[in-house]
Amino acid sequence: MSITPFRLDIPQADLDDLDDRLARTRLPRSMPPGDGCSRGVPADLVAELADHWRTKYDWRGHEAELNEFPQYTTEIDGQDVHFLQVRSPEPDALPLILTHGWPNSIVEFIRLIGPLTDPRAHGRDPGRAFHVVAPSVPGFGFSAPPRETGWTPSRVARTWVELMRRLGYDRYGAQGGDLGAYVAPEVAKAAPEHVAGVYVISGLGFPTEADVPEMSEEEQAAYARMMQQDWANGVDHHALLRAAPQTFAYGWHDSPVAALAWMLQKFHEFNAGGRPLEEAIDRDLFLTNLTLYWLTGTFGTSSWPYYDSAASAWPEGQTPVPTGVYSGPPGIRRLAERGNTIVHWPEDNPAGHHFIAMDRPDDLAADIGRFFAKVR
């Protein structure tokens, strides 16, 4: 099948429409003083960021930044797939396919691709370079929405395997976080003879209630701390998106401020690094991801992988090839090893946002290099 070059060129009318909608925003009443985020994202925060989005954020500049990466589309399994393909200047670089999370997109990797493809330019070992392929999951960004149900992580992974074959890569690594932590292991299951290793951000070995009776006191204390975190107690998006994603999509699709508030809610809940969100993730990077969702109309279609799932569960991983993680904790290694061949389990990598590629791209790139140096 053909591979077609792709370039972002959003019609100005779409940007003018976004500006007009933001200018006509109707904000709800503010919450009582002192409530913080306990009832949801505060109105003053939404108003301030919506004004920045309308008056200071420059989509055209960030569109040009995205267009610096070679982009393509191709049809696989009846699905139009959009992807970045960025080759390293190092001839012996290992191909690596990156899978983004939800509610994220290829924007997740804007700051990561350079350190991965050209470590020499970033003061690191050129022997740990990668040729990067970063597809948009079907229903996200510029990949077309699936025409049918059943686009589970395993089906997405089989699509990635075909994409890598089509690009001429016989041996490669697979990386993912969030939704990508479910997809990347499935890539290895689908083509173990081609995958050198699987690297996930975190999530392996997370205990469930069934594991608690067999856990040590120290492990139980760590589990209790984990369950007190914002990301474990916020809006249960798994349940929401399994229940009625179409209903919520009307608001996300029609009101940019509804979309902004929803994205702020999840990015705040996912902020586990101990720093304010605006310090962890540059606000214009956050807005580029949000704007991409808005301009492609994919708030609803990006929920479909969750709608197709039966229940919420932690990633299980895979056994055919070696596995590494950016952060072992709060997972427990002995639990992770029930379903993975763990060869890389650091406990001291710098903490950061759930979307660590947006927060600490250099630290993440260095650790990805350390893992694949062990398995390539």
Domains assigned to the chain: 3-375 (3.40.50.1820)
Read off the pLDDT of residues 29-61 as tens digits, 9 standing for 90 and up: 776 666 667 778 888 899 999 999 999 999 999
Q: Could you tell me how far CA 72 lies from the centroid of its own chain?
A: 20
The tokens describing 322, both together, are 């070696």
Residues 297-311 have a mean pLDDT of: 82
Comparing 36 with 162, the larger pLDDT belongs to 162
Give the model's pLDDT for residue 177: 96
pLDDT band at 265; cut points 50, 70, 90: very high
CB 196 within 8 A of CB 375: yes
Residues 200-226 have a mean pLDDT of: 86
Q: What are residue 269's phi and psi, to 5 degrees? A: -65, -30
Residues 285-295 have a mean pLDDT of: 98
pLDDT band at 233; cut points 50, 70, 90: low
Percentage of the chain exceeding pLDDT 70: 96
Q: How many residues does the chain have?
A: 376
The sign of the torsion formed by the CA atoms of 313, 239, 352, 290 equals: positive
The yes-or-no verdict on residue 96 having pLDDT over 90 is: yes
Comparing 221 with 57, the larger pLDDT belongs to 57
Residues 352-358 have a mean pLDDT of: 96
pLDDT band at 106; cut points 50, 70, 90: very high
The whole-angstrom separation of Cα 374 and Cα 364 is 16
Q: Give the number of other CB atoms < 10 A from CB of residue 297.
A: 13
The tokens describing 343, both together, are 């060869």
**Which of 29-33, 91-95, 145-149, 337-341 is least confident?**
29-33
Give the model's pLDDT for residue 32: 66
> Mean pLDDT of all residues in the chain?
92
Give the model's pLDDT for residue 31: 67
Q: Tokens 């025409």 map to which residue?
A: 147
Pairing mode of beta strands 79-86, 94-99: unpaired
- Alpha-carbon distances of 332 from 89, 156, 232, rounded to whole Å: 38, 28, 17
Read off the pLDDT of residues 242-264 as tens digits, 9 standing for 90 and up: 888 889 899 999 999 999 999 99
pTM over 0.85: yes
